Amino acid sequence: MIGRAHGGVPRWSLIAAPLVLGGLVVSMVVRPTTDVTAAPFLRPPPSTEGRDLLGGNVSLGSRRGAPLVVIFFASWCGPCHEDAPIYTRLADRYRRRVGFIAVAVDDAPHDARAFARGYGWTWPVVRDDEHRWVFAFGPLGVPATYVIDSDGVVIRTLTGPVTAEQIDASLDPLVLSSE
């Protein structure tokens, strides 16, 4: 018979429970870059929309027909500053073949505007004050990047800092198949 601690709880559970809980806490705090192939249930709803920093409307549903990169960022996020020039170069490389939308998360409009302007972003930057985009996509934090095919299906999710090679690996087949 396995020994029991006071109250009838097996002794092994007194050791295992803190170890499991500690592992969960570490996995929630330490988030290295993860690259996840998105399942179909991660398809954002076509009604996801918002106002950009210039006051215009941005609707995800109206962007179908071409691949799209959706970037969740914040001006206060250090890794976002590291990723920003990568997105600028990718947008230049893919020009009119791929769309880009950036979503400012928990950021003041003037800070997000200065961030985007500073890195030469020319695509819409959405203010997500009501967290509609966050709820639709479910990023674990910022930075987070979603590559969406021309049918509106999320085909790749990147959490944390990115490399151009990671995004190219998803975009190149999409761009080649549409040419």
Question: The domain that contains 40 carries what CATH number?
Answer: 3.40.30.10
**Residue % of the chain over a pLDDT of 90:** 55
Q: Does residue 79 lie in a domain region?
A: yes
Residue 71's closest CA among 159, 169, 168? 159
Q: Does residue 150 lie in a domain region?
A: yes
pLDDT reading at 12 higher than 80: no
Q: What is the residue-averaged pLDDT of the chain?
A: 81
Residue 40 has a pLDDT of 44
| Distance separating alpha carbons of residues 88 and 77, to the nearest angstrom | 17
Q: Does residue 110 lie in a domain region?
A: yes
pLDDT tens string 104-157: 999 999 999 999 999 999 999 999 988 989 988 989 999 999 999 988 889 999
Q: Does residue 103 lie in a domain region?
A: yes
Q: Does residue 12 lie in a domain region?
A: no
This prediction's pTM: 0.76
Residue 22 has a pLDDT of 45
179 pLDDT band, cuts 50/70/90, is low
Q: Does residue 10 lie in a domain region?
A: no
CB burial string 64-88: b at 16+ within 10 A, e below: eebbbbbbbbbbebeebbebbebbb
Which domain range does residue 148 map to? Answer: 33-178
Higher-confidence residue of 157 and 6: namely 157
Q: Does residue 2 lie in a domain region?
A: no
Task: For residue 117, give every residue at least 6 positions away whose Cβ sits within 8 Å of its Cβ, in sequence order, or none.
Answer: none
Number of domain units in the chain: 1
Start-to-end CA distance of the chain, whole Å, equals: 69
Q: Does residue 63 lie in a domain region?
A: yes
Residue 28 has a pLDDT of 33
32 pLDDT band, cuts 50/70/90, is very low
| Distance separating alpha carbons of residues 128 and 144, to the nearest angstrom | 14
